[in-house]
Amino acid sequence: MLPKLGTVSAKSSSCSAQNSWKRSVVRADCVQHCLGSRLGAAPSAHRASLVIQRDFERREPYNYLQVAFFQLKKLDQAVSAAHTFFVANPQHLQMREDIEKYRRMSGVKSDNFRDLEAAAHWEAYEAGMQHYNADEYLQAVDRLEESLREALSALEECRALCEGPLEDEEVEEEEDLQPGLYEAIAGTHYIQVLKCRQQCVLEIATKPGWISATEDFIPSHLDLLQFAYDQVGNQALAAECAASYLLFYPMDEPVLEKMKQYHAELGEDTAVTARENIRHYVQRSLMEKKLIYYAMEHLGGTFNDPVSNACLPLSVLTSPTGSLPFEGITVTMDSQQMNGTQRVVFDKVLTESECKDLLRLTKAARGTGDGYRARRSPHTPHERFEGLTILKAMQLAQSGDVDWRDAKLLLQASEKSRKIIESYFTPGKKLHFSFTHLVCRTAVEEEQEGRMDLSHPVHADNCLLDPEGKERWKEPPAYVYRDYSGILYLNDDFRGGSLFFTEMDAVTVTANVHPKCGRLVAFSSGKENPHGVQAVSQGRRCAIALWYTHSAEHAEQERVKAEELMEQRAAEENQSNGEEYRGADRSTRPTSQRHKSVSEGTQHPKELRARDEF
């Protein structure tokens, strides 16, 4: 007699669970044994707190070491410790002064200024780039290969360290809200480990002292190597590196063309495959991301995906899939139509009436706004620039200089734009306002003849561009925390002023967007979207400039204050209306409320203005 399928399934499931549990216990025992044998104490004795970990990440001990070595008259060690701390803390003014003092001291050698915590992959990478830029491709290959090996090794070490104890980021107050066994394992600790592993690629790609990671760090090695190998005549390895690079960017046309060339040179029968370690890296990271998103969908939580820096296939991970939260809005152009990535144009975000109300608000910017108060633009002497922040608009309304309803409309229109952009690009992932600015650019009529400049030169919103070298630096003074940008146009009765996107060379135009009332253009703020504004040669161009961030700590604080002023105004109006109603109730109380007709007893509301649709 055959056993029931349910019995077989239950036994199989039970055996699988037991084996999994046994492997976990064996691994835990192994970890404890290794810790005990290497460190000679109970595991709890050498688990550092998060505060201590962060101090070591910031290299704080070297700040104390340099003082101690200096007092001990060990000048060479003091200099090395000071330099090691300063590399990771370049904004530390006291250490900057100390470094300058050390440089002037006799007996201090240039070799003493060395980074004791220098990562092997960064040293090899910088040396490789020096050879590469000097056209020394044979030496560049050796150092870049070393850098890639060391980077992948550092990545594995970082991932291993993620398997530490559960970090209580949010402690529940009530005991009955604590997760159960499977929730704790799957929804809390395991997902925390996966998120930590995903962040490791940012950690290895961030130089000490830098705020942000070097974008495309792993794939850029492969791109550089394929070119260097090609220059030294090793087409087989060049093709292997190109195939590996295409795992990250499968639609990269220049590399696809190089692959055709390599196939022709090596022979069509020659198999060209990507490196196995790179294939494993990509597949593993994709699998972990899918697990995290699955957990978010079913168990809740958030995830700041480092996809733009990890550089996994964008077609898999960043295709906009969100539906728009408002009816009547149309997508006029998407990324494909605009010949780029993470770009879109929406129409009918505002009505003609709303645009007119907001344009009325811009008049306040001419004399009392923040911006440049109708002074010459910081970008061109041929235009005047006026700007009004959201808080200033509310303050002007409070003082009676502008209509409260117009100021409120600015608040509502910007929030509507945020919801549209968030739902389109990052559904389920919160976008915070970074900055909101109602801006106008006005042509100086007598200075337009022979004009050759732009209203706003080509730039990216969260990094510095080098068009000649086609490079970028995600470092201050750029607003490195900005993730998405938007421009909500208010008018089109002017000449010029179109927004345009370019390639990294800041010259090759890939798309143009012509302003009009209610048109919202949105795009990611990184190097993938260099953009500028054509000269405004006649009239006045007005728009709401919007920047957004995933980082709550960089959220626009002025907006919080503006919303508080608006809530205060609403409360005062409600109180005033209540007092008026109570006064009317005492003096004109109807004798027979029950039989009073609707037409007599009901006051019809005034016609709603278009802004009330929000």
Which positions are catalytic?
541
Give DSSP secondary structure letters for 387-435. EEEHHHHHHHHHTTSS-HHHHHHHHHHHHHHHHHHHHHH-TTS--EEEE
| Cα 239–chain centre separation | 33
The length of the chain is 614
Token reading at 258:
């190089």
CA distances from 290 to 100, 136, 305 (A): 50, 42, 11
CA 55, 56, 60, 64 dihedral sign is positive
Residue with tokens 């990271």: 285
Give the span between the Cα atoms of 106 and 127, in whole angstroms: 30
Percent helix, percent strand, percent coil in the chain, to nearest 5: 50, 15, 35
Residues 6 or more apart whose Cβ sits within 8 Å of residue 447: 381, 382
Residues 6 or more apart whose Cβ sits within 8 Å of residue 440: 362, 365, 385, 386, 387, 540, 541, 542, 543
Q: Which has the closest alpha carbon to 119: 78, 79, 88, 82? A: 88
- Name the CA radius of gyration of the chain, rounded: 31
